[in-house]
Structure formats: structure tokens, C-alpha cells
Amino acid sequence: MEFDFLSPVGHEIIQFVNGLSTQHLGSKVAFHTDNDFPDIEKIKIAIIGVLENRSAENFLDKEINLVSLRKELYGLFPGNWQSSIADLGDIIAGNSVDDTYFAVQKVASKLIKKGIIPIIIGGSQDLTYPLYRAYDNQEQMVNLVSIDSKFDIGKQEEGISTKSYLSKIILDEPNNLFNFSNIGYQTYYNSQEEIDLIEKLYFDAYRLGEISNNIELAEPTFRDADIVSIDLNAVMSSYSGNFIKFTPNGFDGKEICSLSRYSGISDKVSSFGIFNHNDTSEESVLIAQIIWYFIEGVNYRSNEYPFGTKENYLKYIVPLETEELIFYKSNKTGRWWIEINYFVGKHNKLKKNTLLPCSQEEYLAACNNEIPERWWKAQRKNNI
């Protein structure tokens, strides 16, 4: 059974939670203990630690400890939430890194298939790869969003690591990746060759400055994501408390929590990972709040995707010189979509995905005879 890979939450956490008031988050979470395993059929969100960091860029042979993180998280107060939450414990590092990948893939796949959102914490970011592989049996193409200062493409001969996992996702069969989006890359951390490759593959990349100047620019990207992977090194050290690897520039605490909430509020996001935790108590405080905002977002999902009916949307037709663009605006949330005409026979898994999230600014640009870059890339990708 897939859940046999999970070890129970430690006694120290259980004792801590037992000492909390009934109003704290920890008192509203079901825990995997030595004597009990939560009823999966009653869970919407599952928290899982993965104690694997052997593929980290600067691997230090020390055990990952998520005790501080869990105490920070469960000591918070929840919002007006309806979604049931469980802490399923930890996946302990296997005899090899591949063994850990296998366990993560099996556990995540089982949860996703049941409509449960796994929140993966701890470990190095190469764990995004088995999280992606968890969709192999879901019969769908996958959109991955990474909040990261680097693209993590690396070179094929390097093998998989926290700085090269994306190349394995792009190249390995079965290839279920439809789109990759990076939020917050910093140019000086990425070679021109990598930047050109992202453009050549019609992937999306937003520089740190773009998002910091207008955080709402990222929202449509998350609305179309299946997996969201956060590299904590994308947060500047003065906010994360991580001075093991000093990061002078990056997102601040408010921005990373806003991006996390966008992830949660997306109707489509079905798995969420926070990686490269450097095991400092200061960083644990930030991670706890990132998770809190993701769960907050999940509880405020509007269930607009996929469209059940278009009656609750206003339709806008924008005639251009060579194209006729069709936009939809939700009467409920004010969010926008643009229609994409996929070739049904080319990617039969995509035949129903004809609406792409976009922003009002992109609609206004189209009214000025400017084709939205998001639409253009999606059409070109369909022709590859």
C-alpha cells in the first residue's frame, strides 16, 4: 500500500498539539500516529514531510528536522476554513535517492487521484520531479509553476539534482509536461543559453522585478497550474532568516505569501511543494505562514474551472487584422480567460482545455491590436 512509505508524526509534535487550545490549527488537524492513520476519504489537504536532500546543491550530511516547522504551523490560528487537513507524517530518505522518488511518486499519485491536495515540505527541490511523475496515471497534460530565482535546467550529463531537475522533466518519457512557468527568476543566476531555451520552448518566465512591481501579474499563471514548486532560496535572507546561503535579493515575506495564496485559490492546482528548507527556526516561521496562506486560498476557491456553463461569464470578441480573439470575464470574481483553439487530433489530452487564464490588461492590450504573448505562446506550443 502506498501509505506504508509514511512514518508517523513524532511524539514531540503530538505532545505539543495536545497542549494547544481548541482554537489552534493543530487541534483541527488529523495526525498519522503510531496507533492511528487518518481516514483518507475525509481529507481535502494532506501535509507530508520528505526527509531527502542528498541531491541538494550544497549537500550537508545532516538529518532534516521538521519539528520546528510543524510547531510553528500548528501554533497558528486557522481562518474560517471548511477543508479538512491531515498530517500524514514523513517519507524517510530511502537507500537511494531513486527510492525516495518512488515513494513520493506513489504517495502523491494516490492522493491526487482521490482529489486530495498534497503539501510536500522539506527536502531539496529535485523532489519536484517525482511530484510531476505522480501525474503519469492521471491521463492529463501537466502545467508546472516554479517560484525560483533559477530555471534549474542544468546539463543533461550532470544527472538529476536540485539545480538540474527541470531538464529531466522536459526530456523523460512519458512526457506529460505541457507548460512550465517560472516566477521570479534573477537574470544573473541563469545563463543566456538557459534563457534562450525557455523562450524556444515557449515556456513562461517572469523576472523578479516584474512580479515585485505588480504581484497580480502572476495570478493567471497559477490559475492554469497543476503543480506549484517553491524554492525557498527565491526569498531574500532578510525575510526568510536563512543566512546559511545568503540571498540578498528575492521576494519579501508578504510577496511569497501572496503567491502562495494565488496558488491555493487556483481551482486547478492539485499539488504544492516547498523545498530547500535550510532547517533554521527563523525559516520555519516563514514556511508555516506560506502553508497557512496556501490553505487559506484553497478554502476560498470559486470553482470556476473548468467552466460548467458560460452563462455566468461575459463574452468579449476582439477582431484583429489576422485573428479574432474571444475573451470571457467571470461575473462572480471578475477574472478573465482567453479562448485557445487547440488541434484536437494532435494532443487529444488537451481537447477540452480551450480556455487560458489571462488578465484584464491583456484584454485591453488586444483592444489596442496587440496579441497577448500568453495566447501567442500557447498557439505556437500547440503547433510543435
With beta carbons less than 8 A apart as the criterion, state whether 86 and 29 touch.
yes
Note the Cα 292 to chain centre separation in Å.
14
With beta carbons less than 8 A apart as the criterion, state whether 128 and 165 touch.
yes
Run of H or E residues at 229: strand 227-231
What pLDDT is recorded for position 86?
Answer: 98
DSSP one-letter code for 9: P
Side chain identity, residue 85: I
The whole-model pTM stands at 0.93
| pLDDT class of 157 with cuts at 50, 70, 90 | low
Side chain identity, residue 117: I
What pLDDT is recorded for position 204?
Answer: 95
Q: Is 12 helix (H, G, I), strand (E, B) or coil?
A: helix
Q: What is the mean pLDDT of the chain?
A: 91
Q: Which long-range contacts (CB under 8 A, 24 or more apart) does 284-288 make?
A: 284/68, 284/69, 284/71, 284/72, 285/72, 285/241, 286/232, 286/235, 286/239, 286/240, 286/241, 286/253, 286/256, 287/69, 287/72, 287/73, 287/121, 287/232, 288/69, 288/72, 288/73, 288/75, 288/76
What pLDDT is recorded for position 357?
Answer: 93
DSSP one-letter code for 80: S
Q: How many whole angstroms separate alpha carbon 16 and alpha carbon 350? A: 47
Q: What is the mean pLDDT of residues 116-126?
A: 94
Q: How many whole angstroms separate alpha carbon 56 and alpha carbon 58? A: 6
Q: Say which residues have a Cβ less than 8 Å from residue 196's Cβ, sequence separation at least 6.
A: none
Note the Cα 113 to chain centre separation in Å.
17
- pLDDT by residue (tens digit) across 129-149? 999 999 998 888 999 999 999
First to last CA, the chain: 39
Compare 33 and 379 and report the one with higher pLDDT: 33
Most confident of 102-111, 244-253, 318-327: 102-111
Q: How many whole angstroms separate alpha carbon 182 and alpha carbon 150? A: 8
Compare 46 and 308 and report the one with higher pLDDT: 46
